[in-house]
Chain A
């Protein structure tokens, strides 16, 4: 892979093209690949979620478009959203309104840089990989607050404020729950964390951390039972109530992309990443990731929504102390074992 890149670069250098051009080309190609992957996987996930929810609720879900069990339904929906009229409310702050979905999507996209789909299938193995993910994922809330504020709608503002409060209170347990893994692995690099799970997946020694991470991750992607920023029945649709067409599609895309990211991070940190017998590594990785996504969908269609104050209580009074406890015990064990 790297030799191929070097060859590509030197070929351009021989032609006398400035060094920046081939690198930009490579970046563009990689970014497009990631976007294509996100779009395709999101479409699959949306179809999957509709089918799963349907079967949980004793119905069939989409059955028509595309023939076999309505597999093309998401594509049809996507095309419909693309060709819809772009509506910006009269009282909206146009610039911020237009920027908000992009910020949210950019944050979701950037997180894919550090996802290790296989031993060599990673955009960039940053040595601060986990830290990078944590900081990038916090950006989402900026976009959500922008969307809520610029829409000039009270429901949006309420949704955005809820989202901000939720993000602040759930990012802390999320980070602390990951710390146990990082301490055991001794690295922030995603590749090395997977390497460290050669003997045993971290889900076993770090089970409490895994559960805390999963709970906080659900809140992180605003999914039931933590979907209070959107809260269909209370705030209509929360922060994106005024969005329609393509802009709404981007929010939707980002939401599912986020879901994939947190599931992928969970796979990497706790479920041994791409490791597994027989099947190729990337397939193992996807299987594990989609299993976690399935669990998230399962929870969504089973549980009711929490209230704002209950959410805060859970975050600060239960998850955070547990996460700290988990971290302390991990540290103690590590020290005792030398």
Chain B
């Protein structure tokens, strides 16, 4: 049982060809390896091989005290570091029963939703790249750059923020942040129709993605798909609404859903989520109360013995943290349920039957970040 039986292809026939897509390939978004079985250009089978970026995240988490783990969580989904921080500190707070001050909650939501926009922007840009549209990539990065400027003004970092703290936030917003953030939103809102002009309304783009990689609701639940992929299949499920954490129950926003679960639906869900995130940020900025930003937290964090699984809706889906505490300063067991890991596992189901070019589009629509898949 210890020895693995490898299903690598050995016997190629004249009809079938095996192609290794990755670990170095421009469209696998990192070091993912897909073994494609091709009949001409039609993919008849696909097996993902992951783990090239495995860096013992969970083992490290067991050997650091609770606060020291926060910077490591940045490196999970490095396109949405704020959200990883959010999920982690939320789990520890729930484990310890800590209260977070009001202002800190609002700060968290503002930063998290800006992060969601930034993450979706990257996704949109790279998705355009997968389909051969390079220009949208540059447009998206222009906007993301502005969000990163905002984050830099808050945390001093542009990618791995490590900005959330257990029990609150370490620093208040700088004075200029509120005006800058509002200015950004005003500037950003007219940009979205620009993307529509380049991508959404483009007939070539529509023809390329419609009807591809259909994921029906039954399969989606069977594979525990989450996030925009699940909503693309027409299931109105968003943890911000259905299992509210932090203060998400105070905001009004729509949950965009698709109908058929194809790549187009997933695209549209993410595209519309950007609109909704803008709404949430605007509401949060409007209601942002003054006050403390750090709650009462003991000097040494020793959560009571017990375990806790808590989840947040990251830009990619359900980001869960399972922490087992034995009452000491370090987690006894620290496990990350990464949405991209779970969402990627459905690829062998929705991939086959398409052309190689579509395979790239389907993989792009899953929106994986290998830092999170491999941990």
Report if A224 contacts B (CB, 8 A): yes
Residues of B within 8 A of A (CB): 17, 19, 25-27, 41, 128-135, 137-139, 142, 198-199, 202, 204-205, 207-208, 355-360
Q: Which residues of B contact A158 (CB under 8 A)?
A: 19, 41, 356
Segment at the interface with B among A66-74, A128-136, A213-221, A231-239: A231-239
Contact B131 A305 (CB under 8 A): yes
Contact A233 B360 (CB under 8 A): yes
The verdict on A233 contacting B142 (CB below 8 Å), with A53-B134, A307-B355 known, is no
Segment at the interface with B among A202-210, A275-283, A296-304, A328-336: A296-304
The verdict on A58 contacting B134 (CB below 8 Å), with A233-B26, A234-B360 known, is no
Question: Which of B17, B134, B142, B204 contacts A154 (CB under 8 A)?
Answer: B17
**Cα distance A274–B261 in the bound complex, in angstroms:** 54
The verdict on A308 contacting B357 (CB below 8 Å), with A158-B41, A233-B26, A303-B204 known, is yes
The 3 closest A-B pairs by CB, nearest first: A305-B132, A57-B138, A304-B133
Question: Which of A58, A231, A304, A306 contacts B139 (CB under 8 A)?
Answer: A58
A58 CB to nearest chain B CB (Å): 6
Assuming A59-B138, A302-B133, A308-B41, what are 14 further A-B pairs, CB within 8 angstroms? Answer: A53-B135, A57-B137, A57-B139, A154-B17, A154-B19, A158-B19, A233-B360, A234-B357, A236-B26, A303-B202, A304-B202, A304-B208, A306-B204, A307-B208
Q: Which residues of B contact A234 (CB under 8 A)?
A: 27, 356-357, 359-360
Query: Nearest residue in A to B134 (C-beta to C-beta)?
Result: A301
Question: Which of B17, B132, B139, B205 contacts A224 (CB under 8 A)?
Answer: B132
Secondary structure dominating the interface of B: helix
Q: Which residues of A contact B17 (CB under 8 A)?
A: 154
**Cα distance A56–B204 in the bound complex, in angstroms:** 19
Query: Nearest residue in A to B26 (C-beta to C-beta)?
Result: A233
Contact A155 B204 (CB under 8 A): no
Contact B357 A228 (CB under 8 A): yes
The B-contacting residues of A in range 156-212, CB under 8 angstroms, are: 158, 162
Q: Number of A residues whose C-beta is below 8 Å from B? A: 29
**Cα distance A11–B27 in the bound complex, in angstroms:** 63
Report if A225 contacts B (CB, 8 A): yes
Report if A310 contacts B (CB, 8 A): yes
Residues of A within 8 A of B (CB): 53, 56-59, 154-155, 158, 162, 224-225, 227-228, 231-236, 301-310
**Cα distance A158–B356 in the bound complex, in angstroms:** 10
Question: Which of A162, A233, A304 contacts B204 (CB under 8 A)?
Answer: A304
Q: Could you pull out 9 A-B pairs where Cβ atoms are within 8 angstroms?
A: A53-B134, A57-B139, A58-B142, A162-B41, A225-B204, A233-B129, A303-B204, A304-B132, A304-B208
The verdict on A233 contacting B19 (CB below 8 Å), with A307-B208, A308-B41 known, is no
Contact B135 A305 (CB under 8 A): no
Q: Which residues of A contact B357 (CB under 8 A)?
A: 228, 231, 234, 305, 307-308
The verdict on A307 contacting B138 (CB below 8 Å), with A224-B132, A232-B26 known, is no
Q: Which residues of B contact A301 (CB under 8 A)?
A: 134-135
**Cα distance A155–B357 in the bound complex, in angstroms:** 12
Q: Which residues of A contact B139 (CB under 8 A)?
A: 57-58
**Cα distance A65–B53 in the bound complex, in angstroms:** 37
Q: Which residues of B contact A227 (CB under 8 A)?
A: 132
The verdict on A232 contacting B132 (CB below 8 Å), with A58-B138, A59-B138, A158-B356 known, is yes
Contact A306 B27 (CB under 8 A): no
Q: Which residues of B contact A225 (CB under 8 A)?
A: 132, 204
Contact B358 A307 (CB under 8 A): yes
Q: Which residues of B contact A59 (CB under 8 A)?
A: 138
Q: Which residues of B contact A162 (CB under 8 A)?
A: 41
Q: Which residues of B contact A231 (CB under 8 A)?
A: 132, 357
Q: Which residues of B contact A302 (CB under 8 A)?
A: 133, 135, 198
Query: Nearest residue in A to B199 (C-beta to C-beta)?
Result: A304
Q: Which residues of B contact A306 (CB under 8 A)?
A: 204, 207-208
**Cα distance A171–B183 in the bound complex, in angstroms:** 53
